Amino acid sequence: MQRITSPTSHELDELCQRLREFAASPAAAAGDAWPGDTLAWCGEAGVYEWFLPREWGGQDWSEADIIRGYLQLSTACLNTAFIITQRSGACRRIAGGVNPEVAQRLLPDLVSGKSFATVGISHLTTSRRHMARPVLAARACEGGYVLDGFSPWVTGARYASTVVTGATLEDGRQILVALPMDLPGITVPEPVRLVGLSGSATGEVRCDGVEVSREWLLAGPSPNVMNLGTGAGTGGLQTSTLAIGLATAAIDFLEQECGARADLAEATSGLRREQQ
C-alpha cells in the first residue's frame, strides 16, 4: 500500500474504501472485535506519520489537514479513527516529553505501526478529577515513582506496549509517564461494554505498587501536568470531527435508502445541508 501524503490523495480514498468494507463486514458487525487489521493497514499507509514532526519520522501535517484526514477515516470506520486519536495523542506526548531518550526508544516502532501506544489521562482532566483522593496516586522512590490505583478510561490497553498516563503525588503535583505495560503490578481487567465503540477495548488499567523508573517520565512533577506540552488532551476539534464523520456515514446511508423510500428524501436533504 502506498503512503498517504495528503488528505486529498487517491491513496487515502483507497484506504477509506478498505475501511468501509471492513466496517460493513460480518467480522465488524458484532461491534466488539479489536480492529487489528484496519490499524495495520493505516500503519502501512503512513497514517501514523501525519501527527509527528519530521525529526521523528513524521510528515508534520497541519492541524487542518489532520482534521480533514480524520473526517474521512471516521466516515469510513469510526472505531478505527477513534483508536487512532488515542494513539496519536500518546505519540505526541512521547515526542514532546522531557526525556528525548523515551522518544528515541519508542517512536520508530510507533510511527511505523509495529507497536501500539495509547493514553489514560481522563482522571487528570475530566473523569474523577474532583474526588477527595486521586484514583491513581504516585509516591517518589529511589530512581522513580511507585503508582497505586487505576486509570479508568484507557483505549486498547490490552494491546498496548505503552500507556501514557498521569498520577498525583501527595502534595497535589502530577506526573506524566510512558508506562511500559509489562511492568510487574499492572493488570488490565475486561474492557467495558459500551453502547458504541466496544471494539475499542476501552476500560481500566490497574496499578498495584508499580515501580516506574524516572527514565519514563514525560512531564512533571507539576501542579497541572496536562498543561505542559502537546498531545493526549481531551475534547477539541478532532474529537468533534469524529462525530461529524459518523453523521456523514449515516447521511450517506440514508441517501442510498432514498432510492427505495422516497419519503426519506426531504429529511435526508435537510440533514445533508446541515452536515455540509
- Distance between CA atoms of 270 and 273, rounded to whole angstroms? 5
Residue whose cell numbers read 506524566: 176
Q: How far is CA 43 from CA 4, 36, 77, 244, in A?
A: 10, 11, 15, 24
- Mean pLDDT throughout 243-261? 93
- Mean pLDDT throughout 196-212? 94
Is residue 259 predicted with pLDDT exceeding 80? yes
| Grid coordinates of 267 | 429529511
Residues in the chain, total: 276
- Distance between CA atoms of 150 and 91, rounded to whole angstroms? 21
pLDDT of 225: 79
How large is the greatest C-alpha to C-alpha distance in the chain, in angstroms? 71
pLDDT of 1: 73
pLDDT of 230: 55
Is residue 54 predicted with pLDDT exceeding 70? yes
Q: What is the CA radius of gyration of the chain?
A: 20
DSSP-assigned letters across all residues of 169-185? -TTS-EEEEEEETTSTT
Question: 235 pLDDT band (50/70/90 cuts)?
Answer: low
pLDDT of 255: 94
- Distance between CA atoms of 177 and 209, rounded to whole angstroms? 15
Contact 177, 164 (CB under 8 A): yes
> How would you class 230 by CB atoms within 10 Å of its CB: exposed for 0-12, middle for 13-18, buried for 19 or more?
exposed
Is residue 30 predicted with pLDDT exceeding 90? no
User: 210 - beta bridge partners?
Assistant: 147
Query: In terms of Cα–Cα distance, which of 162, 170, 104, 103 is closest to 134?
Result: 170
Q: How far is CA 166 from CA 24, 61, 88, 201, in A?
A: 37, 27, 17, 20
Contact 245, 81 (CB under 8 A): yes
Question: 231 pLDDT band (50/70/90 cuts)?
Answer: low
Is residue 229 predicted with pLDDT exceeding 70? no
Is residue 67 predicted with pLDDT exceeding 70? yes
- Mean pLDDT throughout 163-190? 95
- Mean pLDDT throughout 61-84? 95
Which residue type, as a one-letter code, is found at position 229? G
Is residue 232 predicted with pLDDT exceeding 60? no
186: helix, strand or coil: strand
Question: 150 pLDDT band (50/70/90 cuts)?
Answer: very high
Question: 253 pLDDT band (50/70/90 cuts)?
Answer: very high
Q: What is the mean pLDDT of the chain?
A: 90
* pLDDT per position as a tens digit, 113-146: 999 999 999 888 765 455 567 899 999 999 999 9
